[in-house]
Structure 1
Amino acid sequence: MSRSSSCAWRIVLACVLVATGSATWGNDPVHKCRGADGQAHYQSAPCASTQRTEWVRAYPPDPPAPVAAVTSPQEARTARRAESPRKPTRKGVRRASASPSGAVISMHRDAAACARAKKARDQTYARLGLKRDFATSRKLDDRVNAACR
């Protein structure tokens, strides 16, 4: 048996062991036990009668992986901007008048137009996936910005 095939079998064996161990390990609850000496012990089995149980945590399974991962730094910035809440600008904020009725001024000219622009942008992003470029993202964001001002 050659040295390269032996190394390949070791890699395959290691992958199988990691896959088997990680599939069963993630579903076990974790028990934090405090011994008589004051030491904390973390274990997957319930605490012994000589130990005090501080807490037990059952971890949920991992969430599903996202469908499309952002690859370029430019797309990452665009995605972060889309997810972060926008702060109101001073341009759209009016000072309160001295009227006794206290009128409420909407930040959006037309809330329905703003919602339509956001929906169109999200649908376009879903349709294009990772094949969108900066110019397309900029154009869609400008439309949303104009509708939601």
Structure 2
Amino acid sequence: MPRIFHALALLICALAACALAAPVRADSLYRCVAARGTVSYQNAPCAGNQRTDRVIDYQPEAMPAAAPKSVAAHRRVVSVRRRWYRTTPIRRAVPTAADRCRKGKAKREAALQRLGLKRTFADLSRLDAAVRAACGD
């Protein structure tokens, strides 16, 4: 009988050691739907004003350890980046048709504010022609 107890105790100790050595961590991902139909994913249960649409269980992957860089390698990377920033021309945004139209309308509004109530039909025609030219009408 003592051999059976010894084997059973050894088996229990081995199982306990395996369970403690490699803890398995499982997480849950909640898909929540709000009253307006917007969907959000979160790692906590849904709030009271949202309904839980789906719960997905997963095991997160272990993060790989980052390889330490040498000081010389870091300096080379920084040097290349500095050279690139110095030689790269600054690109300016090209105005689109909508931008030109918006700018033309803003100019017209500014001119109308400046003229006040002393505007003539010729002034309005001139300002509208400029907007039509900018907006492509």
Tell which structure's C-alpha radius of gyration is larger: 2
TM-score by length of 2: 0.29
The TM-score with structure 1 as length reference comes to: 0.27
Question: 1 or 2, which has the higher helix percentage?
Answer: 2
